[in-house]
C-alpha cells in the first residue's frame, strides 16, 4: 500500500490522496450513527484511491438529522473529487449512506460504481429533525432539485421486543412497516435498474438494524450482474481489512460479532477495490 496525503475539508470533511496520485475517486458516506469516515478514507487512499469523506448532516447550515437532505450534497462531493484529478467517480456508503449512494447512481450519471454496505432497497423516512427542528410528521430522508423523494412509512405504534442485554433491534420495525404498507413500500423503491453504475452489495444476515440481506438481494434482482457479498453471522457494520472494530453501542443492537463483521469485509474487499478502480 502507498503513503497518503491528508487534507481537511470545510464543514468537517477530509480528503485523503495517495502520494503517487490516482485517477479514481470515491465519495465515502457514513451512516446514521456517526460522521466518522477518516479511517476508511485513509484505508482507501492507501489502496490507491482519492477518498473524500464529507459531513452531510448535523453540520453548520445542514439539517440536524437525516431529514430532506439534498442529494445535490453528494454531487458536489463528486465535483470536488473531479477538481483534484479524479476521472472515475464512485461512492461507498454504509446504511443510510448506502441509501444516498444508491440514489446518486440513479440521479448523477457520473457515478461509475457504488459500494453499498448494509443497504436498503427503498427510501425510508427521516431519522431526526429537519432544518425546522421537527422530527414529526415523518418526511423523506432525501430531496432532489427541491422535491422530496417518495418514502416508505414507518409504523409509529411499533414497539421493540425486549432483549436480555437491554439493546434495541430495529430490524423488526422496518420489516413490520414494509408488510403493513406494501404499496407505499414498493413505490419507494430505489430504481437502480435506471443506473449505469456497477453495484457491489454487502450484507450481514444478522443485521439487527434493518433487513439489509433481503434489500441487497432485491437490488441485485433489479440490477442483474451486481456483485452480492453476504455472510450469515455478520451484522450491520462490516469492516475492511485493517479497520478497527466498531465502537460497541449502548442502546442499539447492530448484530454480528467483530470476527464475522471482519470476515464479511474481508470477503467483500477484493470486489470493492475492483469496482472502485474500474478493473472489471
174: in domain: no
| Residue 40 domain flag | yes
Burial of 72 (0-12, 13-18, 19+ CB in 10 A): middle
- Indicate the pairing of strand 4-9 with strand 13-18: antiparallel
Overall number of domains in the chain: 1
CATH assignment of the domain containing 232: 3.40.50.1820
Q: Is residue 176 part of a domain?
A: no
Rounded to an integer, what is the distance from CA 41 to the centroid of its chain?
14
Show the domain range for 55: 4-130+138-149+190-277
Q: What is the DSSP letter of 82?
A: H
How do 142-144 and 147-148 pair as beta strands? antiparallel
Per-residue pLDDT of the chain (280 residues; tens, 9 = 90+): 679 999 999 888 999 999 999 999 999 999 876 567 999 999 999 999 999 999 999 988 899 999 999 999 999 999 999 999 999 999 999 999 999 999 999 999 999 999 999 999 999 999 999 999 999 999 999 999 999 999 999 999 999 988 889 999 999 999 999 999 999 999 999 999 999 999 999 999 999 999 999 999 999 999 999 999 999 999 999 999 999 998 889 999 999 999 999 999 999 999 999 999 998 6
Q: Answer yes or no: is 163 within a domain.
A: no
Q: Is residue 50 part of a domain?
A: yes
Q: Whose CA is closest to 24, among 98, 76, 82?
A: 82
Instruction: Specify if 158 maps to a domain.
Output: no
Residue 243 in any domain: the answer is yes
Q: How much is the pTM?
A: 0.96
179 lies in a domain? no
Amino acid at each position: 500500500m502507498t503513503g497518503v496525503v491528508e487534507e481537511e475539508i470545510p464543514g468537517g470533511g477530509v480528503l485523503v490522496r495517495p502520494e503517487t496520485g490516482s485517477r479514481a475517486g470515491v465519495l465515502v458516506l457514513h451512516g446514521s450513527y456517526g460522521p466518522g469516515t477518516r479511517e476508511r478514507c485513509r484505508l482507501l487512499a492507501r489502496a490507491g484511491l482519492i477518498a473524500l469523506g464529507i459531513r452531510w448532516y448535523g453540520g453548520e447550515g445542514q439539517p440536524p438529522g437525516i431529514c430532506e437532505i439534498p442529494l445535490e450534497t453528494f454531487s458536489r462531493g463528486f465535483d470536488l473529487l473531479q477538481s483534484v484529478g479524479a476521472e472515475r467517480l464512485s461512492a461507498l456508503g454504509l446504511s443510510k449512506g448506502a441509501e444516498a449512494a444508491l440514489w446518486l447512481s440513479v440521479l448523477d450519471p457520473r457515478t461509475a460504481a457504488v459500494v453499498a454496505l448494509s443497504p436498503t432497497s427503498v427510501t425510508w423516512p427521516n431519522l431526526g429533525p429537519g432544518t425546522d427542528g421537527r422530527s414529526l410528521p415523518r418526511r423523506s430522508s432525501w430531496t432532489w432539485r427541491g422535491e422530496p423523494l417518495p418514502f416508505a412509512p414507518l409504523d409509529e405504534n411499533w414497539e421493540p421486543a425486549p432483549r436480555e442485554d437491554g439493546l434495541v433491534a430495529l430490524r423488526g420495525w422496518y420489516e413490520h412497516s414494509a408488510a403493513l404498507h406494501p404499496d407505499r413500500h414498493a413505490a419507494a423503491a430505489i430504481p437502480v435498474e435506471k443506473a449505469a453504475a456497477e453495484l457491489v452489495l454487502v450484507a450481514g444476515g444478522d443485521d439487527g438494524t434493518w433487513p439489509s440481506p433481503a434489500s441487497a438481494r432485491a437490488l441485485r434482482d433489479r440490477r442483474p450482474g451486481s456483485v452480492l457479498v453476504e455472510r450469515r453471522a455478520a451484522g450491520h457494520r462490516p469492516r475492511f481489512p485493517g479497520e478497527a472494530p466498531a465502537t460497541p453501542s449502548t442502546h442499539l443492537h447492530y448484530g454480528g460479532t467483530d470476527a464475522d463483521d471482519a470476515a464479511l469485509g474481508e470477503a467483500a474487499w477484493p470486489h470493492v477495490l475492483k469496482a472502485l478502480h474500474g478493473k472489471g
